[in-house]
Amino acid sequence: MTQNGVLEKTYPAASFYDHQGKYRGILAWILSTDHKRIGLLYLGLILLFFSVAVFFGFLMRLKLIAPGFPLMKPQMYNAIFTLHGIIQIFLVVIPAIPAIFGNFFLPIQIGARDMAFPKINLLSWWLYASGAAIVFLSLFTAGGPIDTGWTFYAPYSLRTTVNVPLAVFGVFILGMSSILTGVNLVTTTHRLRAPGMSWFRLPLFVWGVYATAWVQILATPVIGITFALIMIERYFGIGVFDPAKGGDPLLYQHLFWIYSHPAVYIMILPAMGVVSEVIPVFSRKNIFGYKAIAFSSIAIASVGSLVWGHHMFVSGQSDFASVIFSLLTFLVAVPSAIKVFNWVATLYKGSIELKPPLLFALTFIFLFSIGGLTGLIQGALAVNMHLHDTYWVVGHFHYIIFGGMGFGFLAALHYWFPKMFGKMYDMKRTIGGWIILFIGFNILYFPMLILGWEGMPRRYYDYPPPFHTLHLISTIGSWILIAGLIWIFFNLIQGLRRGEKAEDNPWKGASLEWQIPSPPPTHNFEKIPIVGKGPYEFG
Amino acid sequence: METHRDDMGSKIGMWLFLLSEILLFGGLFILYSSYRYKNPIDFHLAAWELDRVLGTFNTLILITSSLSIVLSIFFVQKGNRRLSGLFLLATIFLGILFLGIKYVEWTAKIGHGLYPNSPRLLGRSKGEILFFGLYYSMTGLHGLHVLIGLFILSAMLVLVMKGKINEHRFVPLENTGLYWHLVDIIWIFLFPLFYLIT
């Protein structure tokens, strides 16, 4: 039986990989309702799309290596930065942590055998795959690849000849997938916690994903209707965003950002959850300020839903609205800072083991802090006039999204890899890859902050010679960064193929996923555990 | 491995989904309020052109259909599947009637040349163009929800007839009822906004 959350491992555990269900081969995966298999299905697709989007990013940087560099035509460049944005945001960053690790680990961490709605979970994946297929299909239809930027701003998206309706329809389907995943995660957290798993014994990753899931449910429908209106507008010309017919493009921007700003928190909150998970385990210390971290997730999700107008300071919205949005933007920094301080306090006097997951988590804190503080600078109204739509903004959000969410994702991948695959990767090699990635990252994105400060506008196809040096440095950084990524993922694939068998609990974690075999058996727990202690009481 | 069943969980899931539906329509209501505020007189004039008698009649139909789905759930809980099925059938009939009347209304408007991008509408003021743009989008999206509801109701009818939904297991029917009430409530907001406030 179970005592203090520790399970006896007496049962013959057939891992979920060996599970013999109704179907064989590939069907056993794409028709499986096992949350672990669905998580891995997401992992496969998301890594595929990620590599495509990184390639587009590489092409953009290559184009900008020198003024007038003749790599591609302007229309092609517009299409490439649009695709880079759409793929990275809608197909990779938004679903990545909730759909992969939330799926795989949230049920296990709360002591459940699956999600609340396993079939809807599978439906979500199918919607995700179909939405992605539709987005890619839109590239090959009449008019060529979309060139609107990932924001689809009206009235340009109503006028351009490319196939905008099909692309936004694809994103609409992706939104449905995201909503259903959110519904599943919230219901699972409410209904399937094991006996004794009180709200304040939940691992902080669960809190992060739970807060995220609420944003997915409440914000995604708004972009759904916005994109539906773009489709209706294109096919029937109802006029709601068309100034020629009395429509107001500013309202499009409002509706777009009502979703797309909270979407930033869909990206970052689960990553913060990962960091809160990794830091106590590798400091061998209970987390400092558990409740503060848990509630700050909720605070970020709620206040973060009310700051969308800071994308529109120069759009002509009322000054009064801008002042309120600016104030709220500053406010949302408070719960984020609370988390950072609590993480650092957890490290203080801990027995730190600098293993790869912790290395990525610490990098998260460093890069996220740069991203967050640059965000505050551009959140000030007067400064924003100068920085709006410049490379500063591009630098800022790459520090948040890649530096924050991306490194959080790598932390999660390296933390849970042994549990997911039952194999161990070469930790020394990971550290080599990390050095390259970290250096490449900063060489790629830091010059963008300076470029923007000096006035280089974003999304431009070309630039005058004074900007050359910094653009050149940035492009070289992109090569180093890609080398680091290849190194890191190659190392993981090597681990998968010929790594040593992983222990059940290689990091000596105290949360439930480490108390079951690696990889987990099909139903996770033979008996539902009775939880008697918190997730970070290492004893 | 015991089969997992959690009726409360299913209902929580449904409520969360309905919440997302409200926000979906919420985007449209924001547009409506904003454009009404900007073009009060145009909206006033345009609203006069909608048929208030048909609108009222449709409102009564939907409210009655909400009653009939409640009765259907009531009877299945009491174990009377025959009456439950009958009231489901009545709900489906009322839903079809609603869409039929909507069809008559739309065709009449289109017959008058009042449809998005029509030469006649483009000749009108901007506020009126927006009014009819929103009228078609909002009642259209609502109609789509009624249509989807009809398919779900029909599936429920089959399940009730087969006895898959019975006095021991009726949560799918309850969830269908919740969805149908949402469709009803959205109409109760659409009706005054387009037909009554002039």
What's the 3-state SS for chain B?
CCCCCCHHHHHHHHHHHHHHHHHHHHHHHHHHHHHHHHCHHHHHHHHCCCCHHHHHHHHHHHHHHHHHHHHHHHHHHCCCHHHHHHHHHHHHHHHHHHHHHHHHHHHHHHHCCCCCCCHHHHCCCHHHHHHHHHHHHHHHHHHHHHHHHHHHHHHHHHHHHHCCCECCECHHHHHHHHHHHHHHHHHHHHHHHHHHCC
Residue-wise burial string across A503-518, b where 16 or more C-beta atoms lie within 10 A, e elsewhere: ebbebebbbbbbbbbb
Q: Which fold has domain B7-196?
A: Four Helix Bundle (Hemerythrin (Met), subunit A) (1.20.120)
A chain contacts of residue B13, beta-carbon cutoff 8 Å: 116-117, 120, 183-184, 187
**C-alpha dist (Å) from residue A400 to A32, A265, A369, A408, A489:** 34, 10, 8, 11, 21
Residues A44-79: tens digit of each pLDDT: 999 999 999 999 999 999 999 999 999 999 999 999
A chain contacts of residue B17, beta-carbon cutoff 8 Å: 179-180, 183
Residues A269-312: tens digit of each pLDDT: 999 999 999 999 999 999 999 999 999 999 999 999 999 999 99
Q: pTM of the entire structure?
A: 0.95
**pLDDT number for residue B2:** 53
**pLDDT number for residue A495:** 97
Q: Once rounded to an integer, what is the mean pLDDT over residues A390-414?
A: 97
pLDDT tops 90 at residue A208? yes
Out of A183, A218, A238, the one facing B23 most closely (by C-beta) is A218
Contact across the interface for A191 and B1, Cβ inside 8 Å: no
Contact across the interface for B12 and A222, Cβ inside 8 Å: no
In a domain, A521, yes or no: no
Count of structural domains, chain A:
1
For A3, the 3-state DSSP assignment is strand
- One-letter amino acid at B180 equals W
Residues A316-342: tens digit of each pLDDT: 999 999 999 999 999 999 999 999 999
Out of B6, B27, B137, the one facing A255 most closely (by C-beta) is B27
In a domain, A40, yes or no: yes
Q: Is A137 exposed, middle or buried (0-12, 13-18, 19+ CB in 10 A)?
A: middle
In a domain, A306, yes or no: yes
Give the pair of three-digit tokens for residue B61: 């139909």
Report the gap between the CA of A222 and the closest CA in chain B (Å): 5
**C-alpha dist (Å) from residue B183 to B98, B143, B148:** 12, 9, 10
Choose among A148, A43, A9: nearest CA to A86: A148
Per-residue pLDDT of chain B (198 residues; tens, 9 = 90+): 456 789 999 999 999 999 999 999 999 999 999 999 999 999 999 999 999 999 999 999 999 999 999 999 999 999 999 999 999 999 999 999 999 999 999 999 999 999 999 999 999 999 999 999 999 999 999 999 999 999 999 999 999 999 999 999 999 999 999 999 999 999 999 999 999 987
Please give the residue range of the domain that contains residue A232.
Answer: 27-515
A chain contacts of residue B18, beta-carbon cutoff 8 Å: none
In a domain, A12, yes or no: no
**pLDDT number for residue B3:** 65
CATH of the domain at A238: 1.20.210.10
Contact across the interface for A225 and B20, Cβ inside 8 Å: no
For A390, the 3-state DSSP assignment is strand
Residues A349-391: tens digit of each pLDDT: 999 999 999 999 999 999 999 999 999 999 999 999 999 999 9
Give the pair of three-digit tokens for residue B90: 């009545």
B chain contacts of residue A523, beta-carbon cutoff 8 Å: 1
Give the pair of three-digit tokens for residue A233: 């507008």
**pLDDT number for residue A24:** 86
In a domain, A18, yes or no: no
Residues A127-171: tens digit of each pLDDT: 999 999 999 999 999 888 999 999 999 999 999 999 999 999 999
Report the gap between the CA of B111 and the closest CA in chain A (Å): 16
In a domain, A359, yes or no: yes
For A154, the 3-state DSSP assignment is coil
Helix (H) or strand (E) holding A196: none
pLDDT tops 80 at residue A4? no
pLDDT tops 60 at residue A1? no
- For every residue of A397-452, DSSP letters joined together read HHIIIIIIIIHHHHHHHHHHHHHHHSB---HHHHHHHHHHHHHHHHHHHHHHHHHH
pLDDT tops 50 at residue A3? no
In a domain, A457, yes or no: yes
pLDDT tops 60 at residue A126? yes
ipTM of this predicted structure: 0.94
